Amino acid sequence: MNLKPGTWNLKPLLEVRDLTVAFGGLKALDGFSMSVCAGEIHALIGPNGSGKSTFLNAVTGLVAGRGQIVFNGAPLLGLPPYRVFRAGIARSFQTPRLFPSLTVAENTLLGLHVECARKTARELEQAAEAQLARTGLAGRGALPVDRLTAAERRCLEIARAVAHSPLLLLLDEPAAGMSAAERQALAALLREIRASGTAILLIEHDLKMVADVADCVTALNFGKKIAEGAPAEVASHPAVVEAYLGKRQENGTQINADERR
């Protein structure tokens, strides 16, 4: 078998089967199944409103669903968010959820709260500094959060999320609004996080970025899986092309979901 870096360990870490999440009469997820393997970056793509954020919310216990979710060998569906976190899943939000009245370092420390009993204050500060350095925010710890750019805030949310070395990191459109250079830095960070042993489920619209970092891609539309496989396969899959645009953009693989309407 020809394995790419990052796909060396193909044990399913997260297994979701037949997941349905309904809001009133609307099925945001409709019998959706997918797995994320240990050691991989797995991208989840789909047009706006296809159910991607709802999927992260169901996995992290923020919305109720029917079906089966198994994480690291144990049932996960129905657990409250703090138990999902303790099981080894961390996440970011589509709109970063930071504490604006706290500094950059203090926000990072929140990701280390479960280690408070085992570490001294100095050790915790050093651990937070290490996470900031890792995410390109070295030396920014004392700043208030509102002094960071939008891209830096997303990196700070990732620093907080990975501080406790989760088994799985869920990222909801972390590259939204980033420049090409910021996206490249983010891609490098995601690869480094994967190499450190944290698998990543990445919601991302930019198929260039997906092709750049993802080992595997799952495409959603109207709450159902429409394609899955290697990035190039999925990007050219007829159902995916149709879901986004009805046709490919002339300039290559990038599909802008906002143009779908």
Residues lying near Mg ion in the complex (CB under 5 A): 52-53, 94
Q: Is 54 in the site for ligand ADP (CB under 6 A)?
A: yes
Q: Is 131 in the site for ligand ADP (CB under 6 A)?
A: no
On the 0-12 / 13-18 / 19+ scale of CB atoms within 10 A, 88 is: middle
Q: What angle do CA 221, 225, 228 make, to 5 degrees?
A: 115
Of residues 20-49, those binding ligand ADP (CB under 6 A): 23, 26, 28, 46, 48-49
51 vs 231, beta carbon nearer ligand ADP: 51
* Per-residue tokens: 105: 């370092």
95 vs 184, beta carbon nearer ligand ADP: 95
172 vs 215, beta carbon nearer ligand ADP: 172
> Cβ neighbours of residue 104 under 8 Å, at least 6 residues apart?
132, 137, 140, 141, 142, 143, 144, 145, 148, 156
User: Which residue in the set 50, 60, 218, 221 belongs to the binding site for ligand ADP (CB under 6 A)?
Assistant: 50
Separation between Cα atoms, residue 232 and residue 6, nearest integer Å: 17
109 vs 202, beta carbon nearer ligand ADP: 202
Chosen from Mg ion, ligand ADP, none, partner binding at 35 (C-beta under 5 to 8 Å by type):
none
- Angle at which helices 150-162 and 180-195 pack, to 10 degrees? 0
Q: Is 52 in the site for ligand ADP (CB under 6 A)?
A: yes
Strand 12-23 to 199-203 pairing: unpaired
CB 175 to Mg ion: min, Å: 13
CB 194 to ligand ADP: min, Å: 23
User: Which residue in the set 6, 51, 61, 141 belongs to the binding site for ligand ADP (CB under 6 A)?
Assistant: 51
Task: Catalogue the E-assigned strands of the chain.
Answer: 12-23, 26-37, 41-45, 66-71, 74-75, 89-91, 168-172, 199-203, 216-221, 224-229
Q: Are 164 and 134 within 8 A, CB to CB? A: no
CB 51 to Mg ion: min, Å: 8
User: Which strands make up the sheet holding 12-23, listed edge to edge?
Assistant: 26-37, 12-23, 66-71, 74-75
CB 154 to ligand ADP: min, Å: 16
50 vs 135, beta carbon nearer ligand ADP: 50
Pick the piece of the chain touching ligand ADP (CB under 6 A) from 52-60, 190-198, 211-219, 225-233: 52-60
Q: Are 226 and 243 within 8 A, CB to CB? A: yes
Q: Is 60 in the site for ligand ADP (CB under 6 A)?
A: no
Binding site for ligand ADP (CB under 6 A): 23, 26, 28, 46, 48-54
